[in-house]
Amino acid sequence: MSEFDLIRRHLTGLGAARADVCVDIGDDCALLRVPDAHELAVSIDTLVAGVHFFPDCDPDALGHKSLAVGLSDLAAVGAEPAWATLALTLPGADEAWLAAFAGGLGRLALAHGLRLVGGDTTRGPLCISVQVHGFVPAGAALRRGGASPGDLICVSGSLGDAGLALRQHLRGGPTDAAARARLERPTPRVALGLALRGVASAAIDISDGLVADLGHLLAQPGLGARVDLARLPLSAAVAGAIESDAHWDLPLASGDDYELCFTLPPARVDRLAAIAVRAGCALTPIGEITRDGGLRCILPDGGDWHPRRTGFDHFADAP
Ligand code: ADP
Ligand code: MG
């Protein structure tokens, strides 16, 4: 089967039909219309076999995750998903694999009203890049730099489940099914990002671990933070793992959570409950932005937690 047949059969028409797509897959460029008075939010993520996923992983889940990580970036700035492009490097023309991959990607695209409008296909070691595009009213995007001392720090969902599933997999023992679902099919918090526009003072998605990503919200002169570890939202499985080894790395410094971390001026705290309902996920205050002092994580017994590691860094952590 030729490259063009593969594209036509499996990658054309993925996701939602949209009136703002003037020219879809099939020409040299997609032609797209951005609504008046909006900015285009653009982000790209690459997943490399053996680095970001196991080469033999379920292709449907991989299709889902390849798009989910980009949708999580759109969520973090409060953008409404619109389009995606896909650069695929495949070791061969495995139709069953590609059909399953396209199925996982296409279902998540449809669920978010997004259209796959183009891409590139090459032969080589398995590697997937997805670029996502979304809309945000001009000037209304959530940014990393807006937090102030006194703001509440909140996170969505629960932390550390993906890290737990990865750890269990690497140890070769039994894996917790719910944790594995979080690792393989993360839920991007798109509705939450939209609901936080005009409410949150700063936001980021947690892809490298809370400590590393919250650190990005503090990268302004004079900002620090205090996080109370007893308040972290944890699944029973992650709470159990911490109880047995007393290491907080799972919820603080393992990757792939794809929850949002955001800050909230104290005067807007009463809006949190309604936003959680609109977003369909739990929202938990875990601490406060402070004046200076870096990031302090307070253990349940009142002591300070010192990280063994702060998050994954492809260059610093490479073997
Ligand atoms: P060109 O050679 O002009 O770059 P291609 O032959 O690579 O175009 O692609 C033909 C059409 O198929 C283009 O519209 C392109 O966007 C689309 N396409 C190619 N690969 C993919 C892919 N992996 N996913 C989605 N669309 C793709
Ligand atoms: Mg061309």
State residue 319's pLDDT score. 43
Structure tokens at 311: 């998050």
Bridge partners, 287 (sequence order): 153, 227
Structure tokens at 2: 């030729």
Which ligand approaches the C-alpha of residue 120 most closely?
1
**What is the per-residue DSSP string for 2-23?**
-HHHHIIIIITT-B---TTEEE
Chain centroid offset of residue 258 CA: 3
Q: How far is the CA of 94 from the centre of ligand 1 (A)?
A: 18
pTM, 2 dp: 0.95
Ligand 1 atom showing the smallest separation from residue 24 Cα: 14
Which ligand approaches the C-alpha of residue 30 most closely?
1
Q: At what angle do helices 177-184 and 59-77 cross, to 10 degrees?
A: 70
Tell which residue, 156, 312, 185, has the closest CA to residue 249. 312
- 207 phi and psi angles, rounded to 5 deg: -110, -25
User: Hey, whose CA ends up nearest to atom 20 of ligand 1?
Assistant: 120
Using CB atoms within 10 Å of the CB of residue 182, give its burial: 0 to 12 exposed, 13 to 18 middle, 19+ buried.
buried
State residue 3's pLDDT score. 78
Q: How far is the CA of 116 from the centre of ligand 1 (A)?
A: 11
For 195, which DSSP code?
H
Question: Residue length, the chain?
Answer: 319
State residue 248's pLDDT score. 93
Q: How far is the CA of 105 from the centre of ligand 1 (A)?
A: 17
Contact 282, 233 (CB under 8 A): yes
Contact 25, 144 (CB under 8 A): no
State residue 293's pLDDT score. 80
Q: How far apart are CA 167 and CA 254, in angstroms?
A: 10
* pLDDT tens for the chain, residues 1 to 319: 787 888 889 999 999 999 999 999 999 999 999 999 999 999 999 999 999 998 889 999 999 999 999 999 999 999 999 999 999 999 998 999 999 999 999 999 999 999 999 999 999 999 999 999 999 999 999 999 999 999 999 999 999 999 999 999 999 989 899 999 999 999 999 999 999 999 999 999 999 999 999 999 999 999 999 999 999 999 999 999 999 987 899 999 998 999 999 999 999 999 999 999 999 999 999 999 999 889 999 999 999 998 766 666 666 655 4
Q: How far apart are CA 315 and CA 286, in angstroms?
A: 30
Tell which residue, 84, 101, 8, has the closest CA to residue 41. 84
Amino acid identity for residue 81 in this structure: P
